[in-house]
Every structure is written in structure tokens, then in C-alpha cells.
Amino acid sequence: MAETPRQKTVVVGAGPVGSLAALYAAQRGHAVEVYELRNDLRDPLTTPLNFTKSINLALSTRGITALENSGNDTLLDHVFDATIPMRGRMIHGIRPSGELYEAQQDYDAHGRTIFAIDRAGLNGRLLDILETLPNVTIFFNHKMTGADFRRRKAWFEVQDKPKSTSRSRERLPEIEIDFDFLIGADGAHSSVRHHLMKYVMMDYQQHYIDTLWCEFQIAAQKSRDIADDDNDAAFRAKFAISPNHLHIWPGKDFMFIAIPSDDGSFTCTLFMPATEFANLEATQDDGVTLPAFFDRHFPGVTQLIPPADLIASFQSNPHLPLISIKCNPHHFQASVVLVGDAAHAMVPFYGQGMNAGLEDVRVLFALLDKHARVESNSPDGDNDSTSAEANRALALAEYSALRVPDAHAINDLALHNYTEMRASVLSPVYRLRKFLEEQLSVYVPWLGWATKYSRVSFGNERYSEVVRKSEFQSRVLLGGLIGTVSVPVLTGLVFLLIHRRRVSNFMGSVARHAKYVAIWAANGFKR
């Protein structure tokens, strides 16, 4: 009997999500080809797509679960070696007296943490693993230029030399490839999604929020004299501020954050409306305005980043937009599917962009596995290519049905969390609700109560279910709060009404008796 040919799976995009998708496919015996627009992402000279370093990533339960299910025993251990646990937010501010303060807000009442991780380190480890697998081939500097998803063909421009700065350049060679299944993991400005729109009636929404971001750095501390056997103290001494928190300087309409890196530095990001950036850009000639702006809105930052470095970063690092993308569906028949930012680019304020993308891969392959386990009519027990294709089509249809509402839900949560991080963290109402939900989750666990953040970051519930349960909890809390306030008020009103009626009855009785006394007096007190 002839051996059944391997399924050829093509992955477009070699970032963390695309690399994990390639690893999942390879573990299932597919012949995998990965095509990446950029040069080898492990090369420090490779220019990122947004022409700057990425905002540091936060790895949470969804991403960890996806990595655990990759089939590679060493991947997760290697990843955790380069992570830093973050137990919560550290809110920075200044008191009316001029004293700087830090206020800790733990993410979870049960002590669970998320993990700061360097994107390049995670990506590099995944690519290293892929290169050791005999059924995986990686092609860098390949730009997707076309696709026919019915005939399952794709075309790539081979960019072996640096791009010319001139508008007129020689035509680069193009290759044609065939595939059985293509996974689009090529980011927010996805070529796969662009070509997919020609084959499906795709609902597509792209939204830029009125916020730009710019990157800064808090440098690692110089080495101190610490005992050789005190590894924990030596580690912490590298950091200018707590390494186990995401640091936030909330500014109501903007904010500054700092996320730790394992070398002792912090990658910092300023998020601010475009008009504020324009105002600061217009007044940078004197070299004074920016530090003064930070001292006014983000007290203490200029003690961590020298003013000269602050100005240099602001002037040299680009001021980049933040995009939110929704689309539906995420697939076409049995031939192509979108994962990660290609399907649902989101703003970074919930730390779920990468986690949602990695979860896409886990859910996708779980559904492919489920639909592949069907009874076969073949005497040899093998599925023919037609049934395999039909099963894959069913799996992709179910994938879109599941992931579209979840992708839309986390996109909306990420947008909402920007308001929470830059303003609500200072609100007594926000802190009260968080406290009540945490106390209920700790002391009455059988109620199944949890904060929205803990459901998103420390579990694998569907994002749409998280929203539904959070809205239910909000209604219950609001009803309870109204009841708590209104019951004493209503009780007081009832008491006053009863009291008023009693007083009224008493006064009426007094009036009647006074009337009788007056008549009696008029009769000379004669009976």
C-alpha cells in the first residue's frame, strides 16, 4: 500500500504565534514551511515591523497553556528561565506634601502572577526548536504577494538583498508554492487577510485610537557588593525599582508604564494623545519642556531616567499608533485560517495580544484533532484526502464560530482597560469593587466569584464567557450596593412615616379633647 503523503502546511509569519503554529503542525507530522517577510528574527540587526522594540510582553495562563500543549518538553522550562513574575501593579504618585509614594495593587487575591518576557527571547527559542525538526523549513525575506485559496497556491517575492531606497527598483524574483493548508500569522497588516478578503464576505473593522506610544528605558543598576551566595539579593540589586510589578504612572488622559527585563532594565512606554505628542514635539528646542512635563505628570521618573536620556529617547524613538482590528470569519473553506494579530490585533492594555494569539493556536489544533478523529469507510482504516479536507473544513468553521466572539470580546476589554490603567486605578469605586470581588473569591469560593482580570489572566475561560460573568457580577454588586444603601434609607422613611402618623393621630386626639374642654368650659364646667 502506498504511503499517504504528508499534509503540507504553510505558515506565513515567523513571530511567536506563527512559530508556535508551525511547531504544533510539525508535531502532528505535517510537512511544514514557514515564510517570513523579515530577516532572521534572531539577528539583532533585524528591523522590527514597527521600526522599534516591541512593548514588553506579559505571559499569562492562556499563553502558558498553549506552550505546554506544544508537544515540546523543554520549551516551557526554557521560556520560564527568562521570565520575571509580576504580582501586581505598582501605582506611582505624589502627595500634596510633595512626597513621592508607591501603592501596590496585587493582580490576584490568591497570589498568582503574570510573567514579564522578552518577545525576542521567546521567538528565538521557538525558531531554534523548529530548525531542529526534519519536517520544518523556514524561509526568511519572503514577502507574500498573492494567493489563490481555491487552487491552494501562493506567491512570494524573494528579498535576498536590502530594499532600495529608490522608488524605481529591479523586479525581485517570485516563487510559486502549493499547499494543503495555510495559516496566516503575519500580524496586524496581514497579507494573508488581505487576500482572504477576496474569497469570503468578510466583515472588517479597523480602528486607531487617539493615542500614540513611545519607548524609553530605565537602565539596570550598577553592580553592588553582595555576598556571592545571596542570589536573590544580587538579582534584585540590578533593578532601580521593584522587579515584580508592572509600574504605572497614571495621568488620567495618558500614562507611563515600566515592565522589567531580566537584565535589570525596564522597558518603559509613554501612552498619550497625538495632540499632546505634537505639543511636546513643538517645544523640544529648549530641551527643558519634556523633563518638566514628566515631573508634573509622572513624578519620580526623572530620578530613574536622566533628563538627557529622556529627551534623546523622545526625539529618536518613533511615536507610533495603536490599532484595533476585528474581522469575521477567520477562515475560508478548508484551505486557510487566520491566527493572532492577523485575526484580531488589539491595543496592549490587557497584556493579552500574544496570549490570545497563542491560545488561537491551541484551540485551532484541538479542533483539527477533534474533527480528524472520524470513522473511516476505508478497508485499511485510512481517511482519504477528500474526507481529510472535509474534516478540516468543519474544524475551521467551528474555529471561526468560537474565536470570533472571543476575539471581539478581548479587543473591547483591552480598549476599556486603558481607561482603567490611566485613571480608574485611582478611583475609590474601582478599588471597592475589586476588594469586594476578591473577598468573595477568597472567603466564599463556592459562589464561583472572581475578578474580571483574574478570569482573563489566570484561566482559560472563553473571553466572551468572562465578559458575560463579569457583567452578571456587576449587576449583582450594583444591586447589593443599592440594597445596602437603600434598605436603611427606606427603613428610616417608613419609621418617619409611622412616627408622623402616630404624631398626627396624637395631635388629632389632642385637638378633639381640646375642643371638648372648650365646650365644657363654655358651659361653666357643668356636666
Per-residue confidence (pLDDT) for residue 440, from 0 to 100? 74
Per-residue confidence (pLDDT) for residue 490, from 0 to 100? 47
More confident position, 305 or 381: 305
What gap in Å lies between CA 171 and CA 340, rounded to an integer?
A: 31
Q: Which three cell numbers stand for residue 134?
A: 526534519
Averaged pLDDT for residues 399-406: 97
What gap in Å lies between CA 402 and CA 385, rounded to an integer?
A: 26
Q: Which three cell numbers stand for residue 470?
A: 463579569
Per-residue confidence (pLDDT) for residue 1, from 0 to 100? 46
More confident position, 5 or 460: 460
Evaluate if residue 54 carries a pLDDT over 60.
no
Averaged pLDDT for residues 221-236: 69
What gap in Å lies between CA 299 and CA 232, rounded to an integer?
A: 29
Residue of 43, 407, 428, 415 whose CA lies nearest to 193: 407
Question: Can you state the angle between helices 353-372 and 385-422, rounded to 10 degrees?
Answer: 160
Evaluate if residue 3 carries a pLDDT over 70.
no
Per-residue confidence (pLDDT) for residue 324, from 0 to 100? 94
pLDDT-based confidence at residue 494 (cuts at 50, 70, 90): low
Averaged pLDDT for residues 481-500: 55
What gap in Å lies between CA 210 and CA 422, rounded to an integer?
A: 14
Averaged pLDDT for residues 236-257: 91
Strands 203-218 and 320-328: antiparallel
**Other C-beta atoms lying within 10 Å of the C-beta of residue 468:** 13
- 352 — phi, psi (to 5°)? -115, 0
Asked which of 51-60, 175-184, 424-433, 485-494 is least confident by mean pLDDT, the reply is 485-494
Beta bridge partners of 348: none
Beta bridge partners of 331: 337
Averaged pLDDT for residues 189-218: 95
pLDDT-based confidence at residue 470 (cuts at 50, 70, 90): confident
Averaged pLDDT for residues 379-398: 80
Beta bridge partners of 111: none
pLDDT-based confidence at residue 448 (cuts at 50, 70, 90): confident
Per-residue confidence (pLDDT) for residue 52, from 0 to 100? 47
Q: Tell me the Cα Rg of the chain.
A: 31
Residue of 232, 226, 220 whose CA lies nearest to 263: 220
What gap in Å lies between CA 125 and CA 293, rounded to an integer?
A: 40
Evaluate if residue 51 carries a pLDDT over 50.
no
Evaluate if residue 230 carries a pLDDT over 80.
no
Q: Which three cell numbers stand for residue 311?
A: 529627551
Contact criterion met (CB below 8 Å) for 223 and 51: no
Evaluate if residue 514 carries a pLDDT over 60.
no
pLDDT-based confidence at residue 161 (cuts at 50, 70, 90): low
Q: Mind listing the pLDDT tens digit for each residue in 63-119?
A: 999 999 999 988 998 889 889 999 999 999 999 999 999 999 898 888 899 999 988
Beta bridge partners of 92: 102
Beta bridge partners of 136: 32
* Amino acid, single-letter form, for residue 34: V
What's the distance, CA 139 to chain centroid? Answer: 29
More confident position, 169 or 517: 169
User: Listing from the earlier edge strand, what are the strands of the sheet with 174-178?
Assistant: 142-148, 153-158, 174-178
Evaluate if residue 303 carries a pLDDT over 60.
yes
Per-residue confidence (pLDDT) for residue 165, from 0 to 100? 47
Per-residue confidence (pLDDT) for residue 147, from 0 to 100? 97
Per-residue confidence (pLDDT) for residue 2, from 0 to 100? 52
Angstrom CA distances, 327 to 129, 144, 169, 205, 323, stand at 32, 20, 34, 6, 13
Scored b (16 or more CB within 10 A) or e, 214-243 reads: bbbbbebeeeeeeeeeeeeeeeebbbbbbb
Q: In percent, how much of the chain has pLDDT > 70?
A: 77
Q: Whole-model pTM?
A: 0.84
Convert 136-186 into a string of H (helix), E (strand) and C (coil). Answer: EEEECCEEEEEEECCCCEEEEEECCCCCCCCCCCCCCCEEEEECCEEEECC
Averaged pLDDT for residues 506-527: 54
Give the chain's mean pLDDT: 84
Averaged pLDDT for residues 277-296: 84
Q: Which three cell numbers stand for residue 523?
A: 358651659
Angstrom CA distances, 516 to 385, 505, 507, 509, stand at 108, 17, 14, 11
- 475 — phi, psi (to 5°)? -65, -40
Q: Which three cell numbers stand for residue 406?
A: 472571543
Which element (helix H / strand E) includes 386?
helix 385-422
What gap in Å lies between CA 193 and CA 395, rounded to an integer?
A: 19
* Bond from prior residue into 329 cis (ω within 30 degrees of 0): yes
Beta bridge partners of 103: 91
